[in-house]
Amino acid sequence: MADRYFPNDLPDFVAEAPDGGRGLLSLPYSSLSERLLRAALRIKDKVMEETWTRARRQVTDYTLYTGALGTALLLFKSFQVTGNRADLALAGDIVKECDAASRGLPRRFLTFICGRAGVCALGAVIAKHCNDQLLLTHYLSSFDEIIVTEKVPNELLYGRAGYLWACLFLNTHLGEKTIPHEHITSVAKDIIDEGRKLAKKGNCPLMYEWHGKKYWGAAHGLAGIMHVLMHTELKLDEKDDVKNTLLYMIRNRYPTGNYPSSEGSESDRLVHWCHGAPGVALTLAKAYQVFHDEHFKQTAAEAAEVVWNRGLLKRVGICHGVSGNAYVFLSLYRLTGNVEYLYRAKAFACFLLEKADQLIADGAMHGGDHPFSLFEGRAGMAYLLLDMVSPSESKFPAYEL
């Protein structure tokens, strides 16, 4: 199990000092954020060079997860943080190529992270910031053409929840009526209905399968689906099912505080956003905001302890790496205002900043199968560092709204 992560020998807490005498972690936050921003922009430029310039501005993988759309989202994030309109324009250029590459693909590719909905939704938001009404209309019209068929699964990466998240993203950035309330409610109801059908065979109010397995995590399972549903207006019985599904997960977590990757799994190994405590922690934090039940805040904090102890993974990305796990502490910091969570996010970010390059060069850390991508590689690290500049406004990309 320990071969998946580095032992966490980071200090439990380091107070800030005017001279930063104890290294990066003791720097005043304003000074540290400047360092993190410079590093983020340096990595962002490298990501752009590797995924766009060297690719001769051609798109073979258009997805947010491992492809060019992830680069576009990173550039858009850079624009949000710095106001650099060159990054905004370049993000728009990349999305146009993603649009061309994704047009005409099978309808099953319909989510924000791994499908056409992400291209159209991000394209529309960028077009709005560029004051390009014609392009905005094009992307919204293209989004409206996406059809969610009965055969579509329900999870986040490839299913209804991932499409629904794209709808919510559009309404967050362009106005609540961009995607009609009735449509969002209808998709959410379909997800609930599907979950109830499978749940009849077990003890959990809602249950879902992806490729024959009942996953629990953020990417393919309960945590991700519940997280998206909690951003919609649900009927009372539907809210009860979501709440009780989360309580079922809490009751059936491992004694360590970690969460199974799938129903009945006894392998307590994975501490990733995609599978395990990190993704569940983000969902429980949202549950506290929705249900105002202290139990959810407490269990989110308990999941964060698992991430602190076992979350320095031997990968850099946000899906199953240190960058993604740092977002647990940012989420708990926003939820509680407790500076110890901000410190822990700083600690993970500084670990990456100081050690990732050398660890990857030495072969002690995996740079990712797609080393410059958003979810598996350094683009995710750059995104985290940009979020560290204003931690109260941070959001796990394509998960938190």
Residue type, 151: K
Q: What are phi and psi of 345, to 5 degrees?
A: -65, -45
274 is in an annotated binding site: yes
| Whether 152 contacts 160, CB under 8 Å | yes
Task: Classify residue 114 by its DSSP letter.
Answer: T
Alpha carbons 225 and 111: distance in angstroms, whole number: 13
Phi/psi zone of residue 276: left (φ > 0), alpha (ψ -120 to 50 degrees), beta? left
Least Cα distance to 222 among 271, 285, 276 occurs for 276
Task: Classify residue 201 by its DSSP letter.
Answer: T
Alpha carbons 338 and 343: distance in angstroms, whole number: 9
| Whether 182 contacts 176, CB under 8 Å | no
User: What 3-state class would DSSP assign to 213?
Assistant: strand
Least Cα distance to 398 among 13, 27, 25, 67 occurs for 67
| Whether 78 contacts 44, CB under 8 Å | yes
Which ranges in 15-115 belong to alpha helices (H)?
29-48, 68-82, 85-102
Residue type, 290: V
Residues 6+ apart with CB under 8 A from 111: 117, 118, 156, 157, 158, 159, 161, 162, 163, 165, 166
The gap from C-alpha 239 to its chain's centroid, in whole angstroms, comes to: 23
Residues across the chain? 401
Q: What are phi and psi of 210, to 5 degrees?
A: -135, 120
Axis-axis angle for helices 116-129, 85-102 (nearest 10): 150
319 is in an annotated binding site: yes
167 is in an annotated binding site: no
Q: Which residues are annotated as a binding site for Zn(2+)?
A: 274, 319-320
Q: Which residues are annotated as a binding site?
A: 274, 319-320
